[in-house]
Amino acid sequence: MIELQIPEYITHVQLSKARKAKYWRKKDESKLPIKYRDKKKYRFNKEGYLVELTSKLRVIANPKSAGTPRYLKINGQSIYSGNMRPMVRAKVVNAIKDFFRTYTDTVPNQLVPIRLECDIYAPLAAKNWDLDNQWLYHKCFIDALVASEVIFDDNVMFVTQSPGFRYFPVDTPEERKLVYRIIQEDRPEILEHETYKSFHSSPDSDESLTF
């Protein structure tokens, strides 16, 4: 068995270095803060943007966030619900895989098939978050094992147990960690099954034996 400890695991992905400024427009007039409703100081121009009459500059609607990095909290529910755009989804998945590669690149090639287990140490926080919404970590971890050539593929001929989270509470975000265990399969139901015996003894699948 190999136990891989991953401290302070990635929880957010940076989507942009600086969020774009948004400006108040005519269509948002009903949402204008009271201070911008003073027609002696502010008016909508011909393009429909609210401008400050003295400077003629457009009024920024997101002054606190404009110019700051944009981060997305990792949550598999966003992907499961279909609300995440494909480009954003790809960026999130690639960021998690790249993070895991720092650790999986240190793991030697494994005899297969293998089983995977995982413990998660995380703060209770709001106390109402779901472990199963964190499934994306497992998918990306297994993909990272393949990318690091720890295993040849991630199908059922190579991975016979996908990890599920066993939870341990910690007090601070800095104490968070993932602990993955890579376990060589030893169940006779697998090792003595004709399909597995044939597949892993075939000359065409030499790589699968020790990859």
- Which tens digits make up the pLDDT trace of 189-198? 999 999 999 9
Report whether pLDDT(208) > 50: no
Q: What is the pLDDT of residue 126?
A: 67
pLDDT in tens, 18-62: 778 899 999 999 999 999 999 899 999 999 999 999 999 999 998
pLDDT in tens, 107-165: 999 889 999 999 999 999 867 788 888 999 999 999 999 999 999 999 999 999 999 99
Q: Tell me the C-alpha distance between 80 and 15, whole Å.
A: 19
Q: What is the pLDDT of residue 21?
A: 87
Report whether pLDDT(211) > 80: no
What does the pLDDT average to over 196-211?
Answer: 66
Q: What is the pLDDT of residue 12?
A: 93
pLDDT in tens, 61-108: 988 888 888 888 888 777 766 777 888 889 999 999 999 999 999 999
Q: Tell me the C-alpha distance between 23 and 20, whole Å.
A: 10
123, burial (CB in 10 Å: exposed 0-12, middle 13-18, buried 19+): middle
90, burial (CB in 10 Å: exposed 0-12, middle 13-18, buried 19+): exposed
Query: How is the chain split into domains, by residue range?
Result: 2-16+71-210, 19-38+49-68
Q: What is the pLDDT of residue 2?
A: 96
Cα distances (angstroms) measured from residue 165 to each of 2, 47, 135, 180, 185: 17, 53, 8, 10, 19
Q: What is the pLDDT of residue 204?
A: 62
